[in-house]
Amino acid sequence: MEVRETSGAAAVPVGVAAMVGDGEAEGLAMVVDVSGLTVAVLGGTGDQGQGLARRFAQAGLTVLIGSRSAERAEKAADELNGSLTGGVPVRGLPNADAAGQADITIVAVPWDGHDALLTSLREPLAGKIVIDCVNPLGFDKQGPFPLDVKEGSAAQQAAALLPDSTVTAAFHHVSAVTLADLSVAKIDLDVLVLGEDRAATDQVRALAETIPGVRGIYGGRLRNAGQVEALTANLIAINRRYKTHAGIRITDLP
pLDDT in tens, 187-220: 999 999 999 999 999 999 999 999 999 999 999 9
Quick one: pLDDT at residue 254? 85
In a domain, 16, yes or no: no
CB 202 within 8 A of CB 166: no
Quick one: pLDDT at residue 5? 35
User: Can you list the positions of beta strands (E) in the chain?
Assistant: 3-6, 9-13, 18-21, 28-31, 38-42, 62-67, 91-94, 104-107, 129-132, 137-140, 143-146, 166-169, 189-195, 214-220
In a domain, 115, yes or no: yes
In a domain, 144, yes or no: yes
Using a 10 angstrom Cβ sphere, with 0-12 exposed, 13-18 middle and 19 or more buried, the burial of residue 151 is middle
Alpha carbon distance 44, 41 (integer Å): 5
CB 168 within 8 A of CB 155: yes
In a domain, 52, yes or no: yes
Inform me whether the pLDDT recorded for 59 exceeds 90: yes
Quick one: pLDDT at residue 31? 67
Q: How far apart are the first and last CA of the chain?
A: 25
Residues 65-114 pLDDT 10s = 999 999 999 999 999 999 998 889 999 999 999 999 999 999 999 999 99
The count of structural domains within the chain is 1
CB 21 within 8 A of CB 149: no
In a domain, 22, yes or no: no
In a domain, 44, yes or no: yes
Helix (H, G, I), strand (E, B) or coil at 220: strand
In a domain, 194, yes or no: yes
In a domain, 248, yes or no: no
CATH number of the domain to which 231 belongs: 3.40.50.720
Quick one: pLDDT at residue 24? 44
Predicted TM-score (pTM) of this structure? 0.88
Which residue range(s) make up the domain with 202? 34-242
